[in-house]
Chain A
Amino acid sequence: MQWLDGLVQGVLLGGLYAQYALGMALMFGVMRVVNITHGDLMILLALVGISLASTFSLGPWSVLVVLVALGGIIGIILQRLILNRVVGADPLPSLIATFGLSIALQNAMLQVWSADTRSLPSDGLAQASFQLGPLFVGVLPVIVLITATVLTAALAATMQYTRFGRSLRAAAADVEAAAMTGIDPKAVYAGATALAVGILGFAAVFQSMRSTVSPADGAFQLIYAFEAVIIGGMGSIWGAFIGAMVLGISQSIGFRIDPGFGILAGHLVFLTILALRPQGILGKG
């Protein structure tokens, strides 16, 4: 029974990781931009959300709307000011630029919010649960999973069927050829980064309702997002979702083997997949 529970909880945890990973799948998987600030931006949005909630006594769903919009704006600024200067075939410049920005962001957040852990009041949602056969399942994790699934489907459909999705795939395949076909690569990249950081608005609300956040937490979210994208396969949106599930289940089962083994179990599964199937589960060739 505890293994079945581990599996269910793992899938629910995977829903949260999928929300970290979707933006990473767009930026790292499709645009080949390594954005080290991915986790820090989520923490920044979460802390802003917590402050907004307490200052203006907003409920979590109002905070969600504000953070998704704010994430989109931050994404456009990030792309226009920094990433457009370093985007290209070589991933190293984007890695170095965003690594520096990550450190600056963490210190700025420490200055503003201190090192205290905080969380977003959830109106009791975080404690609510229901019984599913022999298992108890939290209401919030189920909402998180459903949200993640809807976001993934919407993003995958956007990539496949819309003008913006085609432009982004074309720019990712050959940016110069895309420009010669009439695409303004900088505008497309700004849109993609806005989308990627906007999705972090969802992750920020759910992460800070479900548990706590503090300024130095971003590194964990960054690693989980990278691992999910690589497990699932670079460039595949559903791959990132599946990768997040694999990571969530591995950690959840690991925690049940030994409470100290959970995170490590996730890393070990990641390394095993990297060794046996480096292109990822849904990756091609």
Chain B
Amino acid sequence: MTAKTLLSTHDLKARYGDFQALYGVDLDIAEGEVVALIGANGAGKSTLLKSIMGLIRVGADMVRLDGRPVGGSKPHQMVADGVAIVPEGRRLFAGMSVLDNLRVAVDHAAPGRGDAWTIERIHALFPILKEKQAVPVQSLSGGQQQMVAIGRALLNQPRLLLCDEISLGLAPKVVKEIYQSIPSISANGTAIVLVEQDVGLAKSASDRLYCMLEGRMTLTGRSAELSREAIGEAYFGASHAVA
């Protein structure tokens, strides 16, 4: 089965002022696919997601959605086109209730995608959010906040969900609970990019895996077929792998 390519990047270069963070990155993801993106701190994983999402200015042809150039679109246009993000550090709307945080996403859901995700379905996925719906988000635990962030992104009705380090700073039990939601998200036909520092977790949760090092792609392949050695070499660079 070869599914249609949903989103792809082509020789994507991005910079923060004088600092170049990405040196020509190619990535593609098919409809309904789960792709993991791993790499050390500073490898450019978050920068890549931000470039796709329109938070960093890139050339129009560097990002394509359904083959259409969308690089340099504004973030809200990307959401309208069916791309949503669970941002690094969650970035919830402090001072607003759990329910209002979710409603903001419902208000601005991608049009024409029906209501595959409803607040009721998010409550079924993460029951604690129903219990805490009237509570201000900042008083939730880290794991619960991550669930709100995921729920908020899903309520944008994405075709592609970008997850930036959703396990960061959470207890292993909570990480497990959150990763258990991944299959039911992709079962809905939503493609997922998982940015992850935990290689084992990334490998087991994904169909395919990309590894980045210093702003470049160093490895790509089917997650189940990649050896630990190959990943180690791509993750740390050849010199480290030998040592």
Residues of A in contact with B (beta carbons under 8 Å apart): 163, 166-167, 169-170, 173-174, 176-185, 235
Contact = CB atoms under 8 A, between A and B. Distances in A.
Interface SS majority for chain A: helix
Contact of B156 (A167, A178, A182): A182
B161 interface: no
A183 B100 contact: no
Given A176-B91, A177-B91, A182 B108 contact: yes
A173 B108 contact: no
A57 B108 CA distance: 45
Contacts of A167: 104, 107-108
Nearest to A182: B108
Contacts of A170: 93, 96, 101, 104
Contacts of B103: 166
Given A173-B96, A181-B156, A166 B76 contact: no
Given A180-B75, A182-B109, A174 B94 contact: yes
Contacts of A181: 79, 84, 104-105, 108, 152-153, 156
B107 A163 contact: yes
B85 interface: yes
B74 A184 contact: yes
A170 B80 CA distance: 17
Interface string B3-36: 0000000000000000000000000000000000
A182 B55 contact: no
B53 interface: yes
Contacts of B107: 163, 166-167, 182
Contacts of A163: 107
20 contacts: A166-B96, A166-B107, A169-B95, A169-B100, A173-B96, A174-B92, A174-B94, A177-B92, A178-B93, A179-B55, A179-B76, A180-B84, A180-B87, A180-B91, A181-B84, A181-B105, A182-B76, A182-B156, A183-B76, A184-B76
Contacts of B91: 174, 176-177, 180
Contact of B96 (A169, A180, A182, A184): A169
Contact of B104 (A176, A183, A185, A235): A183
B202 to A, nearest CB: 22
Contacts of B101: 170
B85 A180 contact: yes
Contacts of A180: 53, 55, 75, 79, 84-85, 87, 91
Nearest to B138: A173
B80 A182 contact: yes
Nearest to A184: B76
A167 B95 CA distance: 13
Nearest to A174: B91
B138 to A, nearest CB: 10
A173 B74 contact: no
B87 A177 contact: yes
Contacts of B152: 181
A169 B99 CA distance: 13
Interface string B99-122: 011011101111000000000000
A173 B152 CA distance: 15
